[in-house]
Amino acid sequence: MSESRGPEGATERLPVLEKTTGSGDYGQSSSAADHRPPPPAGRAGRFWSARRVPAALTALVLIVGAGFLLYDVVSVRAGRPAMRWRRELADQLAHRPLDDTWALVGAGLVAVLGLWLLVLALTPGLRRVLPMRRTHTDVRAGLHRDLAALVLRDRAMKVPGVQSVRVRMRRAKADVRAVSHFRDLDDVRAELDATLAETVRGLGLSRRPALSVRVRRPGRKG
């Protein structure tokens, strides 16, 4: 409503009509936020594992080793002899050649351990969680492989002619093995392809896995 001044100074209200977009009814208002297009779906990266167990073990080993070394250094500074293990280690490192078998084995174990820690630090992990499309920048969602395989199996069991289904879900591929006890195998396979392709699209995954569908007859008993 708006106000205007009349010729005699009186105030009178002028009617204002508001129309809802897309409807023919008057007297209703609409917000621009209600008509904003949905945000485009984007791809999401994989989830990173916290690596709590490797991080805890590495921290424990470093803390224990640093504690023993610090205790030995303080003991030497206080006038006491160095611990036996440090004297033997220093003697071995001084007299044992670099091409010695035990030296090579120890160096190989240390190199493998360091490589393992680098792999853990540079790879995301959580391979069993499939990232889903991000419709909001501040929301991330993931779907467990077993749950995705269960959904595909349930949808495949609803196809006429399917007796049993085994689904193996991977990050980039879904292997479906079905057994059909009636209907033509080509017809069952075609319907499974269409049904499972629609199901995969409905999962909302960031990266749709490829489908591999095989149908066979049940084996003979005995």
* CA separation for the pair 35, 12 (Å, rounded): 34
Q: Is the pLDDT of residue 218 over 80?
A: yes
Q: Is the pLDDT of residue 44 over 50?
A: yes
- Alpha carbons within 13 angstroms on the beta-carbon side of residue 105 total 3
* CA separation for the pair 66, 187 (Å, rounded): 68
The DSSP bridge pattern shows strands 162-169 and 173-180 to be: antiparallel
In tens, the pLDDT along 19-40 reads 444 444 434 333 333 444 444 4
In tens, the pLDDT along 175-214 reads 999 999 989 999 999 999 999 999 999 998 988 999 999 9
Q: Give the distance, in angstroms, between the CA of residue 13 and the centroid of all CA atoms in the same chain.
A: 60
Lowest mean pLDDT among 83-87, 107-111, 151-155: 83-87
Helix (H, G, I), strand (E, B), or coil: what is residue 213? strand
Q: Is the pLDDT of residue 95 over 60?
A: yes
In tens, the pLDDT along 128-141 reads 899 988 888 888 88
Q: Where are the alpha helices (DSSP H) in 138-184?
A: 145-157
Which pTM was predicted?
0.61
